[in-house]
Amino acid sequence: MVGFAVCLRADAKGFDKLFTALHVPLIFVVPSVAGLDAVRFGWSSMPLDTVWPGVFLFLLATVPVVRAMRPTAATG
């Protein structure tokens, strides 16, 4: 939980605390469940043709995230 305390500022609003409290554990849960799906239980299967469109969409989705994390001239 040390990492959780570091990612919240002292003046964080209630919604930010709630969002972080839910988001941080889900970061670890989602890949674990996906791994169970793909390897252990075989709950779903996707054709190989979906890999490259998925990679493209993932990279496209990271663009706004990376742009939002870039420092601006106002923040130095």
pTM of structure: 0.44
- Per-residue pLDDT at 41: 74
Determine what percent of the chain falls in helix, strand and coil, rounding each to the nearest 5: 70, 0, 30
Using alpha carbons only, what angle is made at residue 28 by residues 19 and 24, rounded to the nearest 5 degrees? Answer: 20
Q: Which residue would you say has higher pLDDT here, 11 or 56? A: 56
Q: Which residue would you say has higher pLDDT here, 42 or 29? A: 29
Q: List, for residues 2-31, the tens digit of each pLDDT value.
A: 454 555 677 778 888 888 888 888 888 888
Q: Which residue would you say has higher pLDDT here, 38 or 57? A: 57
